[in-house]
Amino acid sequence: MASNVVLATGLALILVGISGSLLRRDILRIVISFSLIGTGSHIMIVSIGYVKNGTAPIVDRTLSVADAPVRAVDPIPAALVVTAIVIGMAVTAVMLAYAIRLYDSKKTLSIDDFTESKW
CB under 8 Å to 12, separation ≥6 — which residues? 40
Would you count residue 114 as binding another protein (CB under 8 A)? no
| Residue 27, C-beta contacts closer than 8 angstroms, at least 6 positions apart | 99, 102, 103, 109, 110, 111
Closest distance of CB 31 from another protein, Å: 13
Nearest one of 93, 77, 95, 92 to 41, comparing CA atoms = 77
Binding mask 54-93 for another protein (x = CB under 8 A): --xxxxx----x--xxx-xxxxx-xx--xx-xxx-xxx-x
- Cα-Cα end-to-end distance for the chain: 48
Q: Which residues bind another protein (CB under 8 A)?
A: 1-4, 7-8, 11-12, 14-15, 18-19, 22-23, 48-52, 56-60, 65, 68-70, 72-76, 78-79, 82-83, 85-87, 89-91, 93-94, 96-98, 100-101, 103-104, 107, 115, 118-119
